[in-house]
Structures are given as structure tokens and as C-alpha cells.
Structure 1
Amino acid sequence: MQTDIHCPVYLVDDDEAIIDSICFLMEGFGYQLTSFNSGDAFLAQVDLSLAGCVILDARMPGLSGPEVQQLLNEAKSPLSIIFLTGHGDVPMAVDAFKQGAFDFFQKPVQGKVLAQSIEKGLQYSVKQHWKMHNLALIDALSEREHQIFKLVIAGKTNKQMSNELCVAVRTIEVHRSKLMEKLGVQNIAELMKLAPLV
């Protein structure tokens, strides 16, 4: 079932029996989970800036699942959050989704259903990570590079940009080269993939 996405999957639950059961169950679907018995331990040991998926117990001693979710949101983490709870209720689920949870299940959950949710959550997280990374690169462009970026994705030639911005063609070429370097792209096709972010 597991796709070719190789991102970490975390499980945060204070019940060791649940951890053992879910880890064993997900191994059958090709997922190696890294488990933590508290939200504090998870937050202290995981790089929150990377793509991945975290399965959170909603009610735990110390930081609850929703509190961990709030801290992940504040950190602008691309991690997808799947809530698992034995004490779930509709208002809790609604609030979790409003705060950006990817999925919400009541224990016990079927292995196949959880594995499918993990797979979709990882795909979503990778897209979010890509988007956040590239938005940060775009934000770092100078004002002139940003102008040229918009003109390039609008299909303008260097000469047209030169005329529109009242600068030499060579100046356009230099800015265009710098913006492509800053964005980590090699050609216009790669640059165009970033167009929806502008």
C-alpha cells in the first residue's frame, strides 16, 4: 500500500499497548512508525519543518493532541495530523478539522483505513512542504526579481521586459539569472511550476 513517498510517520500516544498495536499493524502496510509517549517528547525530538505525518492521541497527560496541533500550526509545520482517540466526540473532531487536521478516527481503527489515511496525509504533507519551501524562496526575491518573475511567467521576452521596465536587456538577463538561481530552477519549465504560487 505504501507509495514511494519516504517521509517519517510518527505516533504520539500515552498508552504503550496502543503504540505496540498500531506500530505492528502499520508495519503490515509498509510503514515504520516512530513512536512517542507524550506530546512534549514528540515536539522535542522531531524536525517540525519537514514533511511527514503524525498520528496523535487527542487526550494525553501533559500536552493534549489539540495542544500539540496548535504548536505545530504556530511552527507552520507541513506535518499532516491524523487524530486517533478513544474519547472522541463531534465537537472535538470539528475543531480539529477547523485547525487543519488531515483526518480523525475513533479507536479502534481498521488498519487499512489508517494506512490509506497515512498515504494521503504524506502526499498532502509533501505538497505543503514544497509549497512552503518555494514561497519562502519567492519571498526572498528582490522587488525587481519579483517583477521579472511575474513577467517571465506571463510569457514576456527579455526585450519586452526591457521595454516595459525601462532597463537594458543585459540588466534583465542578470536579474533573470539571479532569480532562477535563488529559486533553484534550471529552466523556464521548472520556473513555470512555481507560477501558481505568485
Structure 2
Amino acid sequence: MQIHLVDDDPSVLDSTQFLLEQLGYQVTTWSDSVKFVQNAPHFVPGIVLLDMKMPLMDGKQVHQYLSKIQSTLAVIIMTAYADVPMAVSELKQGAVDFLQKPVDFEHLRATLQIAEQRTLSNYEKQKIKQDYHTLSPKQHEILALIIQGKINREIAQQLNIAIRTVEVHRAQIMQKMNAKTLAELIYKRSLLD
């Protein structure tokens, strides 16, 4: 799992990178939050350990940006200057956790496990959303009827089209949504609600 460590303090970058690599993570360090925003991949599975107090673009602004673009990265906030309102705000914005520096090793390890699950879930939902948007308007209509439990004959009657047309659209929907079974298709569609 890729971790992006964003902090302007070189000693924090070095010590935290060493710790994370000992846990088996691939770590990319960023001493400049603007460069992180401009250059890091934001739509892949990954974790961001984000310092709050940084020049140019602080952690709050970086987190807001990632939320705005619906990044799949899971965000963990780290700060030496914690206060309750700040923590509540960041957690409401979707941060996995809010850690006080110096970070407790066991707490960090547990938080990273939660963050891994979150980013994989975010990535899966993003992929499903992209697949869903490749469907044609007619396929969206047919999918909605499939979700309602309608069989091909009922869908054909309701939409006034041939059963064979429904079968073709249904096969294309399964292919575009990367679903092997009807249950998987319904599950994937439910994640979009």
C-alpha cells in the first residue's frame, strides 16, 4: 500500500518514513503540500498522512481539496497543535483519524489498517461509478428495472422493446459493470446510492 507522507518538518519525514517502511509500506515523502496536490496520484488506493500546519497550503486546505475532487486516498491527520474543534472538523470532512504528534506506534498501526480498508472501498466505489457512467440512457433504464426484480419479458413489455433487445442490453450492462452475476450487479449498483 502506498503512503504519502506530507509534512514540512524534515525530521518528522525521516523518522515517520523509517517507521512506515518497517511496517512494510511504500512511502513517498512530500515536504511541500502544493507539490503533493499537483503531482501525487489522487484516484488510486493509497493513504495520506497529512500535517496540519504547513506553509503555502495547510493540511486543512489539502484535505478540503482531496474531498472536493472525491479522491480515493484515505486521509490521516497528524499535528502537534491539536484542538477539539479542528479534530471534529477534519473527521466530519472524512479523515480516518486525527493523531497527535509524536504519534503512538500502536495507534498509528491500527489507524493505518482502517485507512487501508477505507481507501480500497473508496477506490472500488470510484471504479463502479466510472463503469456506471459508461452505460447508455436505455441501459440505465433497464438496470433500474433489473434492480426492481423485473425479468426480461416484463422489462420488454414495460419499455415496449423486443425481449432480445433487453437480453443484449442486459449482457452489455453486465460487461460494462464488470459483474459476473446478477447478485454482484445489484451489489455494485447499491454502492452508488
Fold shared per TM-score above 0.5? yes
The residue aligned with 1:180 is 174
- 1:21 paired with 2:21, answer no
CA distance in 1, matches of 2:131, 2:58: 34
Q: How does 1:12-51 map to 2 (within 5 A)?
A: 12-51=6-45
Give structure 1 stretches of 5+ with no counterpart: 1-6
Partners of 1:53 and 1:82 within 8 A in 2: yes
The residue aligned with 2:70 is 76
Count of residues in Structure 1 that have an aligned counterpart in Structure 2:
192
CA distance in 1, matches of 2:6, 2:130: 29
CA distance in 2, matches of 1:39, 1:90: 23
- How far apart are 1:93 and its partner, in Å? 1.0
Q: How does 1:116-131 map to 2 (within 5 A)?
A: 116-131=110-125
**RMSD over equivalenced CA pairs, Å:** 1.6
Give structure 2 stretches of 5+ with no counterpart: none
Deviations 1:154-179 (A, max 9, x none): 33221222122221101111211222
Percent identity among equivalent residues? 37
The residue aligned with 1:64 is 58
CA distance in 2, matches of 1:28, 1:112: 13
- How far apart are 1:62 and its partner, in Å? 1.5
- 1:190 paired with 2:173, answer no
AA aligned opposite 1:160: E
CA distance in 2, matches of 1:32, 1:110: 20
Give the TM-score taking structure 2 as reference length.
Answer: 0.91
* Greater relative contact order, per chain length (Cα 8 Å cut-off, separation 6+): 1
